[in-house]
Structure 1
Amino acid sequence: MARILVLYYSSYGHTAVMADAIAEGVTGAGHECEIRYVAETAPPEVAKAAGFSQREDHSQIEGPDALEAYDGIIVGSPTRYGRMCSQMAAFWDTTGGLWMRGALNGKVAAVFTSTASQHGGQETTLFSLITNMLHMGCTIVGLDYGFQGQMGVDVVKGGAPYGATTLADSDGSRQPSEADLDGARYLGKRVAETAAKLAA
């Protein structure tokens, strides 16, 4: 049985909902999953004025060394100008000790994101996350086309071969669709299954 971490940051809840769906994919495949979020770095008055909210049923990650306990890590961040948010970047900036020890070498990793619009930088944000995971020595799993739900243009939908995605609209009113959530579940399952095979 593989042990998978879903690590995310979410200002308004969209990536948190995707994290839940990814965890469903992991546990539905018979593996263990924990969800953690990274610390808020925005000043409290800014976070309050902007209406940021944190899920009370999820816990903050204790620190970078916690990553060593998992066979796979799935990292999610909303897009900030086509790259990961500063909160997630700040967390990865603390992982130098893990990199020095090669502590994550060979672990399986995947990524996910949320943007306001269809062309809001989903793929560049996914790559900004993947870059960190590659530097850490991780084996990357994408949202392969075995998940056909990302295909077609009949409705607005997330999904890219580089990771699971969703769209929030500019006012945050759009919640992840069932297709977006199915992609997240598929990604969680693929990471868990891959991690289990590599550990065998």
Structure 2
Amino acid sequence: MAKVLVLYYSSYGHIEKMADAIAEGARAAGALVDVKRVPETVPEGIARSAHFKLDQSAPIATVAELEHYDAIVVGTGTRFGRMSSQMAAFLDQAGGLWARGALNGKVGAAFSSSATQHGGQETTLFAIIANLLHFGMTIVGLPYSHQGQMSMTEIVGGAPYGATTVAGGDGSRQPSEIDLAGARHQGKLVAKTAAKLRA
């Protein structure tokens, strides 16, 4: 049975919801799944004044535990077309794992959110994927077998590179059912791919 880690950073809860949906999909495909988040680097007073969602139930991950998973799905909101500094700071500490090749051949995947439809979701996904490729991981995206991402009747997230959602400029838009379905679909594909590579 494949072990999957859904590793995320979420300021306002949008990526937290997407992480839970990815985990749901991976569990439906038979994987053992942990959902963990990276440490917050913003001082608590500033985070509270900016209305960050600080009551997230996922435990804090450590870099050392990454090598104990068959697959790692990394998610973060977009910061000016790139990954958040919190996620970057966490991954930057994984040099020892890279040097040992500890993640070579494992499955990697990415998911993201942005304030607007064209706010950098895809470049953020590529930033995450580039990191995972440097770790030697095999990438699983969100193929068009999730046809919801092709909808023209409503605003939807999703890209061939990973599940996404659009939060709105004020953060008021929550992940839609199509967005969450895309996340579950990607989680399922990650789990199935990891199981095949373990065989």
Q: Deviations over 1:126-178 (max 9, x none)?
A: 00100100000000000011111111211100000000000100111100000
Partner of 1:129: 128
Equivalent position amino acid for 1:42 in 2: V
Partner of 2:24: 24
> Which sections of structure 2, spanning at least 5 residues, go unmatched?
none
Give the whole-Å Cα distance in 1 for the aligned partners of 2:102 and 2:130: 16
Partner of 2:81: 82
TM-score (norm 1): 0.98
Partner of 1:47: 47
Partner of 1:67: 66
Q: Secondary structure of 1:34's partner?
A: strand
Partner of 1:8: 8
Give the whole-Å Cα distance in 1 for the aligned partners of 2:22 and 2:56: 18
Partner of 2:156: 157
Give the whole-Å Cα distance in 2 for the aligned partners of 1:130 and 1:14: 20
Alignment size in residue pairs: 199
Give the whole-Å Cα distance in 1 for the aligned partners of 2:34 and 2:109: 15
Equivalent position amino acid for 2:34 in 1: E
Deviation at 1:54, TM superposition (A): 3.0
Deviation at 1:49, TM superposition (A): 1.1
TM-score (norm 2): 0.98
Q: Deviations over 1:84-115 (max 9, x none)?
A: 00000000110000000000000001000010
> Which sections of structure 1, spanning at least 5 residues, go unmatched?
none
Partner of 1:117: 116
- Identity across the alignment (%): 61
Partner of 2:34: 34
Give the whole-Å Cα distance in 2 for the aligned partners of 1:166 and 1:96: 30
Equivalent position amino acid for 1:173 in 2: S
